[in-house]
Each structure stands twice: as structure tokens, then as C-alpha cells.
């Protein structure tokens, strides 16, 4: 890729949400905001190689998109009222307040409870995360055209039903926030373990965006334990990023990571958040328990020092809130460390997760430890077929090829 090509894809990752959010506020229309943002990026692809890259990329994109929107609104007679509104709003001073972030307004709109949950997630990933429709479709195992329709339908409802572009009423906030947190966690996970083999295995821009938005939500609702818990979980996960992929692009398992490469500052911040939540004495929610599990991991100077009994106890607590097979799978991994691979495998084998790559990867590792090479190789094969992440595939392939015998 050329330097300019790289500059454009970088600026797309960094500026997409800001451009859409700013336009949505100025124009009061999410659909036009998204379309004009996309056109502005397309113009950049045309113009920048000829004219050179402008000094302030974000401002150039927003201005270009806004001009195009005004041009289009002028052309559309049917939208005359709109046009007037848009022109009027264009020079209105930005409202200042506790929550002065267009992206947060955008995310509350995208996560509105009048939209079905799958639509909220898809819309937020498109509008705020800047993911493409194929990426979102893949993340949810939905066909591309179906995902496109889902997003279009959601945008149509936002406009027709006048879902407001703004922060909810104060007493609606707690309920609205839990929906936002679920979406942010999904964005974070897509960045942490990208599902597309054509993507970089770890997409820092997505994890960073999820963390930035989580910080805003925490600032907005300082008493919300789950918002703090989610932020802590993200920080403690992000802290291990540098150690998580080897120089040759292979995923590094937690036990093999160079703990010296972990980000001590993020860990300290994450631990402080977990401690502060514990100090409240309030019963923890799902994100707070997951954060506590990650705090136990990041507390161990060496993998051998990990307090696995504490981790199993935390998974037991999590199972009471969230009794899903995936939580059971993660608990079984901890059980294998605490009580041996035989017991861990017995728990894993009972789970209905045949379509999930981590299920097969976990089985493969436990079968390897039990010396059952043939079965282990087959399980690695299934895991490799199902894993979308390139670094994870590389890791699983090497582990499989290390196995001795037929």
C-alpha cells in the first residue's frame, strides 16, 4: 500500500466516528451523515494522491462531508424543510455540557431500546466503530445482505419515529447504559481478536475506541459499577496486547506471554478500579467479575503464580449470573489448571459448543496434556477451520504440528 493509501485507511479508523457524529448533530439525520462521511472518504481517496494530504485530516473530512450534505439538501426540493434546518444548524455554536461528545450522543442513539438488540449492535459497529457491513455480518454470522437490511431498517426507524440524537433523560440512563456497555464490549472484542482473516489480528484502534467510550460512560455515571467493571476489564485485557502476538504474527497464550511486556500503567489503573468496586461492598455484575478474573491473572508475576482457586471461585460467581456454556468453558480451563486436565476435559466435553473454535482449541490443549495425540490433532483441525483470526490460526497450526505420532 502507498503512503497515502495508509494515511487514508488510518484516518478512516481514527476519524470515521467523529465525522459521522459531527454531521449527524449538524444535519439531524444519521443516514445522510453516514452517506456523506463515506463520500468524503471516497473524495479523499481521489484527491489526496493529487493534491497532497491536508494538514488536518479530520477537519478536511468533516468540512468536505458537510459541504456535500448541504449541496445535496439544496438539490432535493422534497427536503426543503431539512435544508433550512441544516443551514440554520450549521453555524450554531456547539452546546457545552458535562457530556460534550458527539460520539456518545451517537452511541446512545444507536443503542436505543426501541431498536431490536441485533440492530443496536450492528448500527453502533457501523456508525461508531466504523466497521464495514461485511465485517459486522461476519462477527454475527449473518449474511451480508441481511446485515445491510438490518442496518437500513434501523436507520429508517430512527428517522421515522424520531429517535432523538442525544443523551437520554437522566432517570432513563441506567437502563440505557447497560445496552451501551454490551455494545462497547463487543466492539472491544472485535478489536482484541479480529474475526476476519484479512484483518490485522489485533486492531488497536477498535480496542482504544471502546476504552475511550467506556471512559466517557464511566465519567457520565460514576456510580455505575458495571461501567467501571467494563472499563477495568478492557484495561486489564488491553494491558497484555503487546505480549499477545509474537513478532511473526502468532497468538501467544496467556501462560507463555512475556509478562515484562505488559503495560504496568494500564494494569495499575485496572486494579485500582477493581479495588474501588470491591470497596463499595455492592454485589458485582458480570463485567466486574470478569475484571476481577483478569485482575487475578495480571497480579501473578509468573503464570505459575496464578491463583487458580480464586479464578474458579470467580467463575462460579459468574455462572450464577450468566449460566452459559461459554462461561462453563472458561471455568473448565481454570479447573484443568487447578485439578488437572482430566477433570477439565470432562467438563468441556459436556458442553454444546461444537461450532465454537475456542471449544475445540481448549479440547485440543487438554487432550495434548493427556497424551491423546490423535484426538488432539483432530480437535486442532476443527479449531483452525473455525478460527477467523490469523494469529490464532498460526498459533493453533504450530501447536498441532508439534504433536508427535499419527
Partner 1 sequence: MAQYLMSVLADSTALATEAEQAAIDVFNDRLRSGGHWVFAGGLAAPGTATVVDGRDGEPVFTDGPYLESKEHVAGFWIIEAPHLDAALRLAALGSRHCNRRVELRPFLG
Could you list the residues that contact partner 1 (CB under 8 A)? 112, 114, 160-164, 168-169, 172
Residue among 168 and 270 whose Cβ is closer to partner 1 = 168
Residue among 141 and 160 whose Cβ is closer to partner 1 = 160
Residue among 168 and 201 whose Cβ is closer to partner 1 = 168
Residue among 80 and 256 whose Cβ is closer to partner 1 = 80
Least distance CB 120 / partner 1 (angstroms): 14
Residue among 77 and 169 whose Cβ is closer to partner 1 = 169
Least distance CB 162 / partner 1 (angstroms): 5
CB half-sphere exposure, 307, CA atoms < 13 A: 13
Question: Measured between alpha carbons, how far is residue 301 from residues 19, 25, 257, 260, 339 in Å?
Answer: 43, 48, 11, 9, 21
Least distance CB 78 / partner 1 (angstroms): 12
Least distance CB 165 / partner 1 (angstroms): 9
Spatial contact of 380 and 394, defined as CB atoms under 8 Å apart: no
CB half-sphere exposure, 326, CA atoms < 13 A: 7
Rounded distance between C-alpha atoms, residue 387 and residue 356, angstroms: 8
Length of the chain: 406
Residue among 112 and 399 whose Cβ is closer to partner 1 = 112
3-state secondary structure of 250: coil
Spatial contact of 254 and 334, defined as CB atoms under 8 Å apart: no
Cell 466486574 belongs to 288
Least distance CB 163 / partner 1 (angstroms): 5
Least distance CB 164 / partner 1 (angstroms): 4
Residue among 58 and 164 whose Cβ is closer to partner 1 = 164
Spatial contact of 291 and 274, defined as CB atoms under 8 Å apart: yes
Spatial contact of 327 and 347, defined as CB atoms under 8 Å apart: no
Least distance CB 83 / partner 1 (angstroms): 15
What phi and psi values does residue 193 have, to the nearest 5 degrees?
-140, 80
Signed CA dihedral, 59, 63, 69, 70: sign only: positive
The residues with which 251 forms a beta bridge, in sequence order, are: 245
Amino acid at each position: 500500500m502507498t503512503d497515502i493509501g495508509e494515511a487514508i485507511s488510518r484516518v478512516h479508523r481514527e476519524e470515521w466516528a467523529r465525522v459521522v457524529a459531527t454531521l449527524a448533530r449538524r444535519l439531524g439525520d444519521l443516514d445522510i451523515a453516514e452517506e456523506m462521511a463515506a463520500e468524503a472518504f471516497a473524495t479523499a481517496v481521489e484527491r489526496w494522491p493529487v493534491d497532497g494530504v491536508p494538514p488536518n485530516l479530520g477537519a478536511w473530512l468533516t468540512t468536505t462531508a458537510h459541504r456535500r450534505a448541504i449541496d445535496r439538501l439544496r438539490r432535493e426540493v422534497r427536503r426543503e424543510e431539512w435544508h433550512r434546518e441544516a443551514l440554520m444548524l450549521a453555524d450554531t455554536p456547539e452546546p457545552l455540557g458535562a457530556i460534550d461528545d458527539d460520539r456518545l450522543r451517537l452511541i446512545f442513539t444507536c443503542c436505543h431500546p426501541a431498536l431490536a438488540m441485533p440492530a443496536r449492535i450492528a448500527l453502533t459497529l457501523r456508525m461508531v466503530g466504523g466497521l464495514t457491513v461485511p465485517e459486522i455480518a461476519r462477527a454475527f454470522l449473518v449474511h451480508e445482505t441481511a446485515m445491510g437490511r438490518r442496518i437500513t431498517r434501523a436507520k429508517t426507524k430512527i428517522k421515522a419515529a424520531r429517535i432523538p440524537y442525544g443523551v437520554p433523560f437522566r432517570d432513563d440512563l441506567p437502563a440505557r447504559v447497560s445496552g451501551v456497555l454490551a455494545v462497547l464490549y463487543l466492539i472491544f472484542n472485535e478489536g482484541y481478536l479480529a474475526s476476519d482473516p484479512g484483518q490485522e489480528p489485533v486492531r488497536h484502534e477498535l480496542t482504544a475506541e471502546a476504552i475511550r467510550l467506556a471512559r466517557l460512560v464511566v465519567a457520565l455515571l460514576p456510580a455505575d459499577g458495571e461501567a467501571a467493571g467494563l472499563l477495568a476489564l478492557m484495561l486489564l485485557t488491553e494491558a497484555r496486547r503487546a505480549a499477545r502476538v509474537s513478532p511473526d504474527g502468532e497468538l501467544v497464550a496467556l501462560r507463555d506471554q512475556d509478562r515484562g511486556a505488559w503495560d504496568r500503567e494500564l494494569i495499575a489503573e485496572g486494579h485500582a478500579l477493581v479495588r474501588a468496586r470491591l470497596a463499595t461492598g455492592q454485589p458485582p455484575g458480570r463485567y466486574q467479575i470478569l475484571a476481577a478474573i483478569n485482575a487475578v491473572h495480571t497480579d501473578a508475576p509468573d503464570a505459575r503464580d496464578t491463583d487458580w482457586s480464586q479464578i474458579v471461585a470467580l467463575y462460579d460467581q459468574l455462572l450464577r449470573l450468566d449460566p452459559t456454556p461459554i462461561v462453563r468453558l472458561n471455568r473448565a480451563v481454570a479447573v484443568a489448571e487447578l485439578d488437572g486436565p482430566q477433570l477439565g476435559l470432562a467438563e468441556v466435553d459436556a458442553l454444546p459448543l461444537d461450532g465454537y473454535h475456542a471449544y475445540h482449541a481448549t479440547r485440543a490443549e487438554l487432550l495434548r496434556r493427556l497424551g491423546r495425540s490423535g484426538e488432539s490433532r483432530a480437535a486442532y483441525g476443527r479449531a483452525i477451520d473455525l478460527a477467523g483470526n490469523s494469529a490464532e490460526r498460526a498459533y493453533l497450526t504450530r501447536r498441532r504440528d508439534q504433536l508427535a505420532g499419527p
